[in-house]
Structure 1
């Protein structure tokens, strides 16, 4: 008689310990983005369970010099940011990143899609049933109604949808470009119609185009373009900072860009002038519209991830994170792992207009920069080969 195996039998010890951290962390932080009532102390629980991710590091079979170097630099930076701001966000990100080392990215993203997808759908359904608030905002210039569908703000709902679409495309939809495109267009139209989240909708359409282009044009001359696109994160991070730092409302181009991005340049410029940039961050109370429909008179929220992370956690951390992301992009090009590159490009574009770059409960790729992409890449290559032979 063959003994039945449980799902846990397919996990190594380090993987099991990592998921003992990641799963409760993801559940708690995901619910924190919804209108479900949740005791604040649970956020402390989410940080406490990260101890299992720390322990998992010692169960890795081998460690590379690169892993030790990145871990040491990011851990030290996280400690210095914590000392300057009392914020443990960088340390938490680093711990999860170290815990994900050598774990197949497909396993982590699958867990993310199940949990994040379920909680987003639950919030959506409960808001339609009036069991939790569906916050509705009116855009003054157009009168459009912006629904948040149980999430704390319409753009946060749209961000969840963007990342769920992005990682679904990465794992599943890349094999069926027509389905990827149709879902992308319908999702973008839904976000425009019901949440008026135009920028998130645009990044979904751009993501669909990137995946379709890579599916059919990843050979020959196009490879050179893809090689250059490995620098996308560096370029867009610098462009975001440059446009914001040099913003002048009296110059036509800047005024036009500011209008198209719903005032993001002017808000970012005000924050830069008021707070400046510190090496390891500073305490800033950003005030936005999330969680309530009451009018905010002193709104000062910075939406660009690059600007917000730099202001809160300092220039050192954002430079290191962008550098690590770029290294991962270059590794993707050299190993012909173009779909990983596609995700990094899509995240880089979205991060210009949204603030979720280093929040794993939105952008799970933020903790996967040291994970194992080889197994997933080989699986894709085999799948394409079998398709071509068939």
Structure 2
């Protein structure tokens, strides 16, 4: 009679655990996508719904949980109170979310939490990388030094991309014990070199390199116990690992408070940390230290490639938490992480202990300690942390492990060979379907998710088939069969892409006439010995001409080469190529070209193209949005109605622009005005919500033709900045339609 209630209790706990993990997955999906360049219109109720559901799960776990009567629940409640008070004081709702999720993770096996994080993060990060490489979203490029650029690969900043890689690798290492040490060390070494080469994220690169040392240490840790001296070293290191958060928090906060330019030691440390101590000290002097923090906006460099005015981003996690969220929350975060480390030490879980120490080190330079999209380890404070599984491996299991290792190695090599073709076809499909438009990002995400999940299912199916089919056959023959299946799968994938491109080819060929004509003329020019690359519709260009080369990273292949021609969409602003000495020209209404080839420049000029050292991208302002921002009437076939000075454009589109000479053209249609002679309107280029005025000119009544139409252009040299505004003020009772605002870059000496 007593078994049924226990079973019912057990079933409820399993159900609540599943509900928590599902809610955590929904929360992490939003967190990960918010760090990408995708434009996703999230429903306004999304975060609120997740918050309510998470609270309900915590409430139900408290009521039904068999293990919810111990002293840990007091610590859970205390943690929730601290996060709640910090949220009330600062208004940052995500702090309340973290508090609820930390409590909800109580008694859930830590590996389940990490697996949810790994799968959500790795899939979304893969989608972002594919989006950046196929041109769906921008791969932000930051110049580290002349000729050396940092890639963000679809994430809002290169260091954020590198941090994703670091945290995901640590989570994989802790979770999947079956991955051999040599495999993790090899992956870590490749990723370390990759991060240094393409992101130049020094902190993440150093942490990744130390993680490789940690892999070796964990592998040798059991052997160190046999030697008395080595065991003492092991115990000392473990103490350092457990105390890492406390030590690093104390050191960084002390450095923030005591920083002074006169101190040569602190100034040297500040230079090594790229000015982080100085920024933290400036914030400390401005806001001070409070129990529950001081809310303030942090202006960083993510999401755009120009330097934001008023940069004040506090990167050091411990300093940022102390100033922004409060002393009590910093203490809570340190106690929670230290508690996890103590539990890991007691369970002899060296992997988790080392991973936490690396998180502590990473947080001493970067700001991700309280961001669950990066540091998922925070949720393990009250979870079940046990020792790594020690399973006696049989000969049969060892053979299966070798088969799987051979399978994944072959798959990796095959993927490396195929990847350039995947990206090339991907860029073509993105161009054909116009997926680079913000409102179409969701279609790219859906297609990429379906493709990734499909590939994973096929890989898993083939692996299972190889392990079960033909077990009497020799291992070498089974691996050979495996490779044959992979080649068949590859051929089917490429055939699908070729079929899609061929079906759409005839429909868009007329848009590529100018580019194909340029390639043909270059091919017939004996002196041209360079390379031709295409960003837009590369596979169609390759089918039309053998001279087009494939590449993966946008613009990268051409930077340090001579005689290069890069054909791309007219809207592409590849200003880094202009800095490298490339010339720009418009081929047609849809195509443009960047080149440093003298032969290509001569051919372009012979065909009447204007070649200059400026990317002359012409873009229309979204009049619907600008009308909404100013509370003005908008009609699709007419434009924005301007009625006197009180109903003019007081707020602009706040566009981010790079250095160059800007031309803004206003297309106006005059309806009525009492002004017969003299200015009827004023146009202005400004920034910072009108505080900085770059140029202002008046439009005279005489400039309007007999139909009341006027195209008025204003030019001004600008620097890298965000928030440029194109304003228009009508004089007196003047009424007119603003039909369009067209802006673009022009050569420095424009006619």
**TM-score of the superposition, structure 2-length normalised?**
0.48
Question: Is the contact made by 2:203 and 2:365 (CA closer than 8 Å) also made in structure 1?
Answer: yes
Aligned to 1:106: 111
- The Cα shift of 1:36 comes to 0.8
Matching of residue 315 in structure 1 with residue 327 in structure 2: yes
Question: Is the contact made by 1:53 and 1:96 (CA closer than 8 Å) also made in structure 2?
Answer: no
**Structure ranking higher in helix proportion:** 1
- The Cα shift of 1:177 comes to 2.3
Partner Cα distance (1:271, 1:143) in 2: 34
Question: Is the contact made by 1:248 and 1:254 (CA closer than 8 Å) also made in structure 2?
Answer: yes
Question: Is the contact made by 1:28 and 1:46 (CA closer than 8 Å) also made in structure 2?
Answer: no
Question: Is the contact made by 1:17 and 1:56 (CA closer than 8 Å) also made in structure 2?
Answer: no
Partner Cα distance (1:208, 1:237) in 2: 24
Query: Which residues of 2 match residues 173-192 of structure 1 at below 5 A?
Result: 176-192=180-196
Query: Which residues of 2 match residues 117-128 of structure 1 at below 5 A?
Result: 117-128=122-133
Question: Is the contact made by 1:106 and 1:171 (CA closer than 8 Å) also made in structure 2?
Answer: yes
Matching of residue 224 in structure 1 with residue 226 in structure 2: no
Partner Cα distance (1:189, 1:305) in 2: 25
- The Cα shift of 1:90 comes to 2.4
Aligned to 1:260: 272
**Structure ranking higher in strand proportion:** 2
Change (3 A) 1:319 1:14: same
Question: Is the contact made by 1:278 and 1:314 (CA closer than 8 Å) also made in structure 2?
Answer: yes
Question: Is the contact made by 2:151 and 2:158 (CA closer than 8 Å) also made in structure 1?
Answer: yes
DSSP 3-state at the match of 1:222: helix
Aligned to 2:33: 31
Aligned to 1:167: 171
User: CA offsets per residue over residues 42-87 of structure 1, 9 Å max, x none?
Assistant: 4444434423442452342212533212122112212221221122
Change (3 A) 1:70 1:172: same
User: CA offsets per residue over residues 284-304 of structure 1, 9 Å max, x none?
Assistant: 100001111232121000111
Aligned to 1:3: none
Partner Cα distance (2:17, 2:104) in 1: 8
- The Cα shift of 1:349 comes to 0.5
Aligned to 1:61: 66
Change (3 A) 1:10 1:256: farther
Q: CA RMSD in A?
A: 2.2
Partner Cα distance (1:119, 1:10) in 2: 31
Partner Cα distance (1:134, 1:276) in 2: 37
Query: Which residues of 2 match residues 1-390 of structure 1 at below 5 A?
Result: 12-39=14-41, 41=44, 42-58=46-62, 59-139=64-144, 144-172=148-176, 176-218=180-222, 219=225, 220-229=231-240, 230-374=242-386, 377-379=387-389, 382-383=390-391
Question: Is the contact made by 2:54 and 2:104 (CA closer than 8 Å) also made in structure 1?
Answer: no
Change (3 A) 1:206 1:386: same
DSSP 3-state at the match of 1:163: helix
- The Cα shift of 1:217 comes to 2.5
- The Cα shift of 1:142 comes to 5.7
Partner Cα distance (1:54, 1:300) in 2: 37
DSSP 3-state at the match of 2:310: coil
Partner Cα distance (2:367, 2:48) in 1: 22
Change (3 A) 1:166 1:378: closer
Question: Is the contact made by 1:18 and 1:52 (CA closer than 8 Å) also made in structure 2?
Answer: no
Question: Is the contact made by 1:54 and 1:99 (CA closer than 8 Å) also made in structure 2?
Answer: yes
- The Cα shift of 1:143 comes to 5.5
Which of 1 and 2 has higher RCO (CA within 8 Å, sep 6+)? Answer: 1
Which stretch shifts more, 293-302 or 249-258? 249-258
- The Cα shift of 1:368 comes to 1.2
User: CA offsets per residue over residues 218-248 of structure 1, 9 Å max, x none?
Assistant: 4222332134221111101111111221112
DSSP 3-state at the match of 1:12: helix
Question: Is the contact made by 1:56 and 1:99 (CA closer than 8 Å) also made in structure 2?
Answer: no
- The Cα shift of 1:105 comes to 1.1
Partner Cα distance (1:200, 1:328) in 2: 22
DSSP 3-state at the match of 2:30: helix
DSSP 3-state at the match of 2:130: helix
DSSP 3-state at the match of 1:150: coil
Gaps of 5+ in 1: 1-8
**TM-score of the superposition, structure 1-length normalised?**
0.90
Question: Is the contact made by 2:196 and 2:202 (CA closer than 8 Å) also made in structure 1?
Answer: yes
Aligned to 1:5: none
Change (3 A) 1:342 1:235: same
Partner Cα distance (2:150, 2:47) in 1: 28
Partner Cα distance (2:285, 2:98) in 1: 28
Change (3 A) 1:64 1:228: farther
Query: What is the total number of aligned residue pairs between the two structures?
Result: 374
Partner Cα distance (1:315, 1:259) in 2: 27
DSSP 3-state at the match of 2:214: helix
DSSP 3-state at the match of 1:303: coil
Partner Cα distance (1:147, 1:10) in 2: 47
Question: Is the contact made by 1:21 and 1:53 (CA closer than 8 Å) also made in structure 2?
Answer: no
DSSP 3-state at the match of 1:137: strand
Question: Is the contact made by 1:173 and 1:179 (CA closer than 8 Å) also made in structure 2?
Answer: no
